[in-house]
Structure 1
Amino acid sequence: MFQTFETPSSPEQGPPRLADLRDAMAAQSLDAFLVPRADAHQGEYVAPRDERLAWLTGFTGSAGFCLVTGTRAGVFVDGRYRVQAPAQVAEDFEVIAWPETSIAAWARQALPQGGVLGFDPWLHARGEIDRLEAALQGSGIRLRAVAENPLDAVWEDQPEPPLAPIVPQPIEFTGESLEDKCRRLGTLLDEAGEAMVVLTLPDSIAWLLNIRGSDIARNPVPHVFALLFADGQVALFADDAKCDEALLDHLGPDVNIEGPESFGPTLEHLAGRLTRPVRLDPASCPVWVQDRLAGLEIHWDSDPCILPKACKTEAELAGMRAAHERDAVAMCRFLAWFDAGPQESLSEIDLVTRLEIFRRETNQLMEISFDTIAGAGPNGALPHYRVTTDSNRTLEAGQLVVVDSGGQYLDGTTDITRTLLVGKDTGEAEKAAFTRVLQGMIAISRLRFPRGLAGQHLDALARYPLWLAGQDYDHGTGHGVGAYLCVHEGPQRLSRVSDVPLRPGMILSNEPGYYREGAFGIRIENLIAVESAPALEGADAARDMLAFETLTWVPIERRLILVDRLSAEERAWIDAYHAEVRARIRPLLDEATAVWLDRATETL
């Protein structure tokens, strides 16, 4: 399905919906209600049925929440959405800078002493509610889990749950059978003295059972729940409409499939029979699940699939390399088409549509990996901008255009950002900022670092050139990426808040940026894989070091680089990178695009 450009919601829809929600809250004796951007699976991405935050407020960002009281409604967003959110919501909603202002601090000020704050136990993880409860201590505000979500009660045309088929993922792309994965993780549970773990994250279950789906747009995962037992057996809760004979043959005798309506009764039945503790992940397990296990000892620990999933097998790494070379062909065709012009007759929607066409012409694209970002001029200053028919801009000479896009292929997932130049030249400020962003990206690409360091130890290296100029960006430097799974994958990140040590096989984005509100944006992004660092010639140091393998091979706009501000090492890296792009990608291109590539990758 091609990307669409309709406006999902508009500000004027918010006030009447807010009034209806307040009526439903009053019927349940609630003084406030928390509306997250989340679903029962607690993943980052949600189906249309679960777009409650966007339906109520009009805000379409990928993170945030709204706290509604009888007289106020606060929409909490982080630094990525401080410009976007005010433009999308009505005046009835206050846009709150989060996490600078916590929900507990705002609630203390907005709610009366003894007020009741309701929440849907399906839509909040245990850890989240525990933190909120602790932060509200002494306020008199009481949290109450509701049996019926009052927003759902007033959303008359709420979409039905998705029912896309579940399909096997071939072992040639996974590198490990589902039986081996289940036994390996079951052994870990047994060694920890645990009877089972409850799995709710769609990508964890998809990875564990080597299955894929399409219940969430752009992410090849199914909406299912699972129980993994210490003996390696699995109970999978999935609608019959999703399952065919091929899937049953793939899953085999150790995976028992039951309908989703059996999930709660099964948990309650096991709570009365199990003699060993059950593992729940406080970051992703809904409160509702814990409530079904009343009386059973809980071990609060991380989802056991998350770390193994992040450390890719050799088959997964090989697939990611192949997917990136294939994707680079589409990107080079797109960039050659763009450079051929006439650029000033094009719009942002034209760019998004043409790039998707080039990806589909590989004949191997399953889906784009997220809605393509194509932000021209001031729209580029919105890091997660999504063009609509209302916001669509025509390109102008001298503008920068941020194009952030990716593809889902059976063998891998891609994510790449390039900043394009409209016309032949732009301002000195734009070039200076672009050069600083490029220097930060190069710093991460060239890095060698001791094993045991986490993303929080590396993030500043990408920001250092910007900091010297008093500049920065309000997002992490990099996120984890799945192998034909979600384009955002934990637990690894290049971020000042990530304390997860990086390990070989982990894949991350490397995407520093700079955004000048109302003027322009810049981002340059490659994907990189953690690997053991090659030995240094003549070195006698014994410290175990890691490095990054570059996966993305697409030219970087040389006309935006202030070459005299680069060090000799930085110039050498750019030239070597472009030489590698030619060596890998040129043989895969048609002649006209190959000629363009030769010009685009000339030495500095």
Structure 2
Amino acid sequence: MFQSFEDRADGSRGAERAEALRAMLAPLGIDGFIVPRADEHQGEYVPPSAERLAWLTGFTGSAGTAVVLRDRAAIFIDGRYTLQVRDQVDTAVFEPVSVIETPVSAWLRANAGHGARIGYDPWLMTRAQVRQIAEAIEGAGGTLVPVEANPVDAIWQDRPAPPLAPVGEHPEELAGRPVSSKLEELGRALREKRVDAAIVTDPASIAWAFNIRGDDVPHTPLPLSFAILAAEGRPTLFIDGRKLSNAVRDRLEGFADILEPSAFRDALEALGRGGRRVLYDPNGSGEAVARLVEGHGGTIVEGADPVALPKARKTPAEIAATRRAHVRDGAAMVRFLCWLDRHGSDGSQTEISLARRLEDARRTTAEADGQALAGISFDTISSTGPNAAINHYRVTRRTDRTVAPGDLYLVDSGGQYRDGTTDVTRTVLIGTAAPERLDLYRDRFTRVLKGMIAIASARFPKATTGAQIDALARAALWRAGLDFDHGTGHGVGAYLSVHEGPQRIAKTGHTPLEPGMILSDEPGYYRAGDFGIRIENLVVVREAEPIPGGDRPMLGFDTITLAPIDRRLVAPRLMDAAEIAWLDAYHMRVWGTLSGWDTLDAAERDWLAEACRPLVG
């Protein structure tokens, strides 16, 4: 299995560990210490050796920060984790605080005290984060102090070793571009910015630039590493040599100098001593990187990771490969949804058993296609009843719930295939529901569906951002006084991260959408303590056909996910003719693409035919 359902949280030792950390404060000359959920790469997933926040507090969410002062401690979480943090953390030791209502900076301003010295690990916090917190502390008469050696590491006696997964090559026929072409483009970009070098600490950017993949963190094929890109000359890749076979090393040495990660600090200092102008991402790289360059005489030029946008613009080869992966994934979803329709209401299935069933469907379908499922792209959100109302719910043995007739079942899942990354959400009715309950489900489901279709069928001028079209997904919900509290869509990589920036469809999505970008389209509705609904397809931005009478070039989306949408939950009376036509055309394409899949048996094809029937008539 690619997913564990064990509850990894252990908040029982929170008091003991907080006191051990407090004992480290005085020798370091500080009055408190900040512990973010981050490693030196600032990625979504971190290896076990970097799970400092989980070790200290017991909290295993993907985003959070703890602050330990001499007399109190707090843990800061967003709305996704309001319930989880209370289940996992000793709240008598760590006070849960909404980071939206009270940011870390505001809490420290109010609680650190005049003259307080608050420590932080500059490798684990970005310059943007440091600036915000430093300004707040200094406003209260305190100081934010970088600490050279992380005190959590000093008290973490059984800390796991760093990962050493082998690095493999990502074939050029899937990448669509040779490494030389990518490095030339990046060099030109640096020269245009009038910088001598760029620091890249995001392993996804490095994996893309050098056409490599790894397995150092869960669910994303990343080789943990650093890189210095040069405006002129060869880049330098800092990666543990034990991860490299002779063949991979030989190929990489054709493009870059290969050094151990321990040499990264010296290389940053050398850039400084050379008086170099160095591009640095203040939102994505650790503060330590900038400090080492500046502290030795270099100039930091703040700007976005130069790899992020080229990586987001998928090549035709990447798009073609991703489409193949989605056909395969769609066949697996059909097998799973057909099985669920037959057995989901018999009282024997739980959230965990269904997550396992779906994972098995992905694995066997890939094998039948002569492929290997490299992994799942994130922990499957397998949820029913009130659990589905938690939009980032992660099922464990403790929370596992039986799927019952009349309930909605929401499954948000994805696969990592060598040719693409998938992410799909479907909400289905289990058995039958009482008429009044079914009416409620249909109303909410159809409003969510209308939002998903509004994004999928949108046409928009070039330079439009995700923030500008996010409201399209919400309009039908707003008309009923409803909404959802997450973004409508995130970027998706090509056999890389399922959550990729900078593109997104959200209120915070300020990057213009460009052809080749892949995004999710996933509005939802969540009724706390009762049920949740989300429908998600992946879409790719493309040039749109000219609109008669129009005078501007337009962009649009192609939907690449292939899986039936539960027609039983659709209220046709709430949809207009264009929306019904879109849904029927989508189902026709799902049927036409998947019905010939070799591994589907006759019963599965019959189920698919019924699932893809026109909505009315």
Deviation at 1:124, TM superposition (A): 0.7
Residue identity in the other structure for 2:158? D
Query: What is the SS of the residue equivalent to 1:82?
Result: helix
Contact kept, 8 Å, 1:80 with 1:475, in 2: the verdict is no
Query: What is the SS of the residue equivalent to 2:158?
Result: coil
Greater mean deviation of Cα atoms: 285-294 or 216-225: 285-294
Separation in 2, partners of 1:263, 1:218: 26
Separation in 2, partners of 1:418, 1:385: 15
Contact kept, 8 Å, 2:240 with 2:260, in 1: the verdict is yes
Task: Give deviations 1:278-326, integer Å, cap 9, x for gaps.
Answer: 1111111211112221211111111110000000000000011111001
Q: Unpaired runs of 5+ in structure 2?
A: none
State the match for 1:186 in structure 2.
Answer: 187
397 and 175 in structure 1: CA distance in 2 versus 1, 3 angstrom threshold: same
Greater mean deviation of Cα atoms: 195-204 or 74-83: 74-83
State the match for 2:586 in structure 1.
Answer: 577
Separation in 2, partners of 1:560, 1:19: 53
Query: What is the SS of the residue equivalent to 2:405?
Result: coil
State the match for 2:555 in structure 1.
Answer: 546
State the match for 1:391 in structure 2.
Answer: 399
State the match for 1:10 in structure 2.
Answer: 10
Contact kept, 8 Å, 1:504 with 1:529, in 2: the verdict is yes
Residue identity in the other structure for 2:557? F
Contact kept, 8 Å, 1:232 with 1:254, in 2: the verdict is no
Contact kept, 8 Å, 1:183 with 1:231, in 2: the verdict is no
State the match for 2:488 in structure 1.
Answer: 477
Where do residues 444-463 of structure 1 align in structure 2 (5 Å cutoff)? Answer: 444-463=455-474
Residue identity in the other structure for 2:242? A
Query: What is the SS of the residue equivalent to 2:336?
Result: helix
Contact kept, 8 Å, 2:491 with 2:519, in 1: the verdict is yes
Separation in 2, partners of 1:265, 1:334: 52
Contact kept, 8 Å, 1:280 with 1:299, in 2: the verdict is yes
Deviation at 1:379, TM superposition (A): 0.8
Separation in 2, partners of 1:449, 1:358: 37
Runs of 4 or more consecutive aligned structure 1 residues displaced over 3 Å after TM superposition: none
Residue identity in the other structure for 1:69? L
Separation in 1, partners of 2:36, 2:475: 34
Contact kept, 8 Å, 2:381 with 2:412, in 1: the verdict is yes
Separation in 2, partners of 1:17, 1:376: 35
State the match for 2:497 in structure 1.
Answer: 486
State the match for 1:136 in structure 2.
Answer: 137
- Give TM-score, length-normalised by structure 1: 0.97
Residue identity in the other structure for 1:457? Q
Separation in 2, partners of 1:70, 1:21: 9
Residue identity in the other structure for 2:352? I
Deviation at 1:232, TM superposition (A): 4.7
Separation in 1, partners of 2:587, 2:305: 40
429 and 12 in structure 1: CA distance in 2 versus 1, 3 angstrom threshold: farther
Where do residues 47-446 of structure 1 align in structure 2 (5 Å cutoff)? Answer: 47-92=47-92, 93-273=94-274, 275-293=275-293, 294=295, 295-343=297-345, 344-361=347-364, 362-363=366-367, 364=371, 365-425=373-433, 427=437, 428-446=439-457
Separation in 1, partners of 2:344, 2:8: 31
Separation in 2, partners of 1:91, 1:276: 48
The yes-or-no answer on 1:508 pairing with 2:509 is: no
Contact kept, 8 Å, 2:461 with 2:552, in 1: the verdict is yes
468 and 297 in structure 1: CA distance in 2 versus 1, 3 angstrom threshold: same
Separation in 2, partners of 1:462, 1:232: 46
Separation in 2, partners of 1:53, 1:399: 36
Residues matched between the structures, number = 601
Query: What is the SS of the residue equivalent to 1:267?
Result: helix
Separation in 2, partners of 1:394, 1:24: 46
Identity rate, percent: 48
Task: Give deviations 1:235-280, integer Å, cap 9, x for gaps.
Answer: 111111101112123224231111111111122223222x441111
Separation in 2, partners of 1:72, 1:453: 46
Task: Give deviations 1:341-384, integer Å, cap 9, x for gaps.
Answer: 15321011101111111111112211111111101111111111
Task: Give deviations 1:81-137, integer Å, cap 9, x for gaps.
Answer: 223222222222222122221212111221111111111011011121112222334
Separation in 1, partners of 2:510, 2:100: 18
Query: What is the SS of the residue equivalent to 1:136?
Result: helix
114 and 307 in structure 1: CA distance in 2 versus 1, 3 angstrom threshold: same
